[in-house]
Amino acid sequence: MGEENVELLRRAWSAYDAGDIEAFAACLTDDWREYGPSGPSGGFGTLDDERRTMESHRTAFPDKHTEIHHIVADDEMVACHCTVTATHTGSYMGLEATGKRVVVHEMMFNSVSDGKLAETWAITSDAGFYEQLTGRPAPEQLDNMG
């Protein structure tokens, strides 16, 4: 089962990088939640939130790519360490294209239920896209990648 969860994670993030919202959604439970480092007490993102993020990133960072360095999985969880890179070539949060390259290192821990990702805990070690582009903290509505 762990190997199936590895493939599930790879399929999900491949769809995410391609901007294929429906293929990404097919890898998630209907009530999927994404948490930041604070866990549920810090709020959470939903699939609808992620759809908006994906659309925004597709416009602003069409070359966005997630390189997965490590994946560890068992029957109930799948975790990965990855690096996300992108070039700011379109409008993003009111910012016109800068041509700047952004890089975010991330670790994600995902619970799996009935063959789908049910919850994701994402922890980044860098400033998100917005802060890298502006030097200012990201607005609250942005997720950890922001």
Q: Is the pLDDT of residue 143 over 70?
A: no
What is the pTM (predicted TM-score) of this model? 0.86
- Write down the pLDDT at residue 1: 66
pLDDT digits (tens, 9 = 90+) for 47-65: 998 898 889 889 999 999 9
CA 25 – CA 84 distance, rounded (Å): 20
Burial 80-93 (b: 16+ CB within 10 A, else e): bebebebbbeeebe
- Write down the pLDDT at residue 139: 75
Structure tokens at 53: 């993020």
Give me the architecture of the 2-134 domain, per CATH: Roll (3.10)
In degrees rounded to 5, what are phi and psi of residue 32? -50, 145
Region 3-27: mean pLDDT is 95
3-state class (DSSP) for residue 6: helix
